[in-house]
Amino acid sequence: MTKLEAVIQPTKLDAVKTALIAIGIDGLTVLEARGHGRQKGHTEFYRGREYSVDLLPKIKLEIVLRDERVDEVVKAIIGASQTGKIGDGKIFLSRIDEAIRIRNEERGNDAL
């Protein structure tokens, strides 16, 4: 089982969700995050004082998948969110030791 974490622009969330539903992925966790990679922030002014805002709003998706599905999901996410500019985001994959469904205590791939 593979955990897929994707940090994307908030404006792309709808498109990515639609793409995932289209390929039959219905388990998804969405987090509101702040961060930046090489993308610069901006400055704000309050009563004459400058504040630099480096941490930009991002959306982070977390999906745990069967290993066989990882490639098509990565392709779907990139397809829906890529613009070619700095700030598109990143996808990380990691191995998951176990998954358990709380309702009926199913384990492994059946729990996904």
Element (H, E) at 53: strand 49-53
Binders of another protein in range 79-98 (CB under 8 A): none
45 sits near another protein (criterion: CB under 8 A): yes
Check if the beta carbon of residue 78 is closer than 8 Å to that of residue 12: no
Angle between helices 13-22 and 70-81 (to 10 degrees): 140
Q: Which stretch binds another protein (CB under 8 A): 44-52, 58-66, 79-87, 88-96?
A: 44-52
Q: Is 22 or 53 the residue whose CB approaches another protein more closely? A: 53
51 sits near another protein (criterion: CB under 8 A): yes
Distance CA 13, CA 30 (A): 9
Q: Is 27 or 41 the residue whose CB approaches another protein more closely? A: 41
Strands 42-46, 89-95: pairing kind:
unpaired
Q: Which stretch binds another protein (CB under 8 A): 10-18, 45-53, 74-82, 97-105?
A: 45-53
47 sits near another protein (criterion: CB under 8 A): yes
CA atoms within 13 A on the CB side of 9: 14
Q: Which residues bind another protein (CB under 8 A)?
A: 44-49, 51-52
